[in-house]
Amino acid sequence: MMIFLAALNALALIPTLVLAVEVLAALGARNDFNSECAVAGPVAVVVPAHNESGGIIPTLKDVVPQLRDCDRLIVVADNCSDDTAAVSAAHGAQVLPRNEPDRRGKGYAMAWAIAHLKEDPPEFVLFVDADCRLEQDFMTKTLNYCARKGGPVQALYLMTSAEGFQVNQRVAEFAWRLKNWIRPLGLNRLGAPVQLMGAGMMFPWDVIKSAPLASGHIVEDLKLGLDLALAGAPAHFLPTARVTSEFASTERGTESQRQRWIEGHLAVISSYVPRLLVSSIAKRNFDALVLALDLLVPPLSLLVVIAVGIALLGGAYIWLAGSLLPVTLALLNLVVLGGALTLAWFKFGRDILPASQLPLVLRQILQRFRLLRHLARRGSSEWVRTDRDKPE
Q: What is the pLDDT of residues 151-185, one digit of tens each?
A: 999 999 999 876 655 667 788 889 999 999 999 99
Q: How confident is the model at residue 32 (pLDDT cuts 50, 70, 90)?
A: low
Is residue 268 within 8 Å of residue 226, measured between CB atoms? Answer: yes
Per-residue pLDDT at 361 exceeds 70: no
Q: Span 89-110, mean pLDDT?
A: 92
Q: How confident is the model at residue 143 (pLDDT cuts 50, 70, 90)?
A: very high
Q: What is the pLDDT of residues 101-136, one digit of tens each?
A: 888 889 999 999 999 999 999 999 999 999 999 999
Q: Span 5-13, mean pLDDT?
A: 83
Per-residue pLDDT at 335 exceeds 60: yes
Q: What is the pLDDT of residues 210-264, one digit of tens each?
A: 999 988 777 889 999 999 999 999 999 999 999 999 887 666 656 666 677 788 8
What domains appear along the chain, each with residue ranges and CATH number?
2-27+276-373 (no CATH), 43-250 (3.90.550.10)
The pLDDT value given to residue 391:
47
pTM (global) more than 0.85: yes
Q: What is the pLDDT of residues 276-299, one digit of tens each?
A: 999 999 998 999 999 999 999 998
Per-residue pLDDT at 148 exceeds 80: yes
Question: How high is the mean pLDDT of the chain?
Answer: 86
Q: Span 350-369, mean pLDDT?
A: 71
> Regarding predicted confidence, which is higher, 374 or 4?
4
The pLDDT value given to residue 388:
55
> Regarding predicted confidence, which is higher, 362 or 85?
85
Q: What is the pLDDT of residues 47-60, one digit of tens each?
A: 999 999 888 999 99
Closest CA to 219 of 179, 171, 161: 179
The pLDDT value given to residue 392:
44
